[in-house]
Amino acid sequence: MNYKFDFYKYRKIYFIISGVIMLLGIVSLLIFGLNLGVDFKSGTRIEINIEQNFVEKDIRSLLKDAETAAKEQGIKDVDLTPSIVRQAGNKNGIAVVRFDQTINSDVLPVIKEVFRSKYGEQVDLIESKVDPTIGRELARKAFYAVLWASLGIIIYVSIRFEFRFGVTAIIALFHDAFFVIAIFSLLRLEVDLTFIAAILTIVGYSINDTIVIFDRIRENMKLNKVKRARDIENIVNISLNQTLARSINTSLTVLFTALALFILGGEGIKNFSLALVLGLISGAYSSIFIAAPIWALWKGKDLDKKKFKPQIES
């Protein structure tokens, strides 16, 4: 059988590309860590929907006004000095304000009042405050859940296919999850609870994408005589070419929807959909350029070992 693209030939290049990205990610995680939102760090986050352009300086001084007004009303714990003020939203009409300290909830109506008197009645707030233990507990549980899920996948794939498929599918899975985490660390994007949901979505998608390719490899293994590592390379190339249209088309359709959410969706799901977009790209890439070649290398080595063994013995 013939094929158009020799995917296996340039495997070293893909491994180097992924290796460099992984390395950058590790370095970035070690130096900068992740930009944790209030879900993982104590403090309060307030999103003020102003619906018109504003300058950061005004936000800070209005918060000071609110603090004074709140103190006059006898409300305690009202240090309204923000650590970060950021403009967001499609028309830059949203002020995202982060406080490292926890803000007393009683002060919210006061803040709303002060901002309304300056920008009009349409001003509205989203406030979230989390004990950081909750977020960390969730992240830890999610991590262990993914580990257990990986084990389950390896077992299932080992039974239905073979052990090597299971392990390489999991390598691709962690590649994709880590890729997104690394990019978020490098770009200093805020990580909140929806980020965990995004990572889980990517995990599900990555597995799906890889298994379809492995399924085709398995089918071609049955149809062709496989004796040496060279035969394996051939089969991997044929299978990748056969499933290429599907890989591209599925990734494109999912990417359409994720991109639409990223560009047109509200502020609340911006980072969520960006994580999805990155994960989808990585998922499509890793199934073709990482999972399949690693499997071929591994399987090929094992085949050659088997082949040469009897000769040595005899």
Partner 1 sequence: MIRLNRLLGFIAIIVVLTVLMIATIKPVLNNITLGLDLQGGFEVLYQAIPTDGQEITTQALKETAAAIDRRIDVLGVTEPRIEIEGTDRIRIQLAGVPDQDAARELLGKPAKLTFRNVNNEILLDGSDLVEGGASVDLDKIGRPVVVLKLKDADKFRDITAKYIGQSIGIYLDEELITNPVVNQVISTGDAIITGQETVEEAQELADLLNAGALPLDLKELQSQSVGATLGMKALELTIKAGIIGAIFVLLFMIFYYRVPGIIASYALVVYVYLILVLFWLLHVTLTLPGIAALVLGVGMAIDANIITYERIKEELKSGKSLLSSVRAGSRRSLSTIIDANITTILAAIVLYIFGTSLIRGFAITLIVSIIVSLITAVYGSKLLLNLFVKSNLVTNPRAYGVKEEEISEL
Q: Which of residues 11-30 bind partner 1 (CB under 8 A)?
A: none
Return d(Cα 233, Cα 61) in angstroms, integer: 66
Question: How does 71-80 read in b/e, with b if 16+ C-beta sit within 10 Å?
Answer: eeeebeebeb
Give CA angle at 304 (303, 305), nearest 5°. Answer: 90
CA 255 to chain centre: 14
Return d(Cα 139, Cα 151) in angstroms, integer: 19
- For position 259 contacting partner 1 by CB under 8 A, the verdict is yes
Q: Tell me which amino acid residue 162 is.
A: E
Q: Find the shortest distance in angstroms from Cβ 31 to partner 1.
A: 29
Nearer to partner 1, 34 or 123 (CB): 123
Q: Find the shortest distance in angstroms from Cβ 24 to partner 1.
A: 27
CB atoms within 10 A of CB 313: 6
Query: How many residues sit in the footprint of partner 1 (CB under 8 A)?
Result: 74
- For position 237 contacting partner 1 by CB under 8 A, the verdict is no
Return d(Cα 97, Cα 210) in angstroms, integer: 41
DSSP state, 308?
Answer: H
- For position 260 contacting partner 1 by CB under 8 A, the verdict is yes
Select the span of 53-61, 64-72, 146-154, 181-189 touching partner 1 (CB under 8 A): 146-154
Nearer to partner 1, 172 or 229 (CB): 172
Residue 190 in tokens = 């805020």
Q: Find the shortest distance in angstroms from Cβ 127 to partner 1.
A: 5
Select the span of 26-34, 104-112, 175-183, 225-233 touching partner 1 (CB under 8 A): 104-112
Binding mask 77-96 for partner 1 (x = CB under 8 A): --------------------
Q: Which of residues 268-307 bind partner 1 (CB under 8 A)?
A: 268-269, 272-273, 276
Nearer to partner 1, 68 or 105 (CB): 105
- For position 181 contacting partner 1 by CB under 8 A, the verdict is no
Residue 55 in tokens = 């300058």
In Å, what is the CA distance from 68 to each residue of 89, 90, 102, 145, 154?
Answer: 28, 32, 17, 47, 60
Q: Are 36 and 76 in contact (CB under 8 A)?
A: no
- For position 203 contacting partner 1 by CB under 8 A, the verdict is yes
Q: Find the shortest distance in angstroms from Cβ 27 to partner 1.
A: 29
Nearer to partner 1, 50 or 229 (CB): 50
Q: What are phi and psi of 49, to 5 degrees?
A: -90, 110
Nearer to partner 1, 57 or 76 (CB): 76
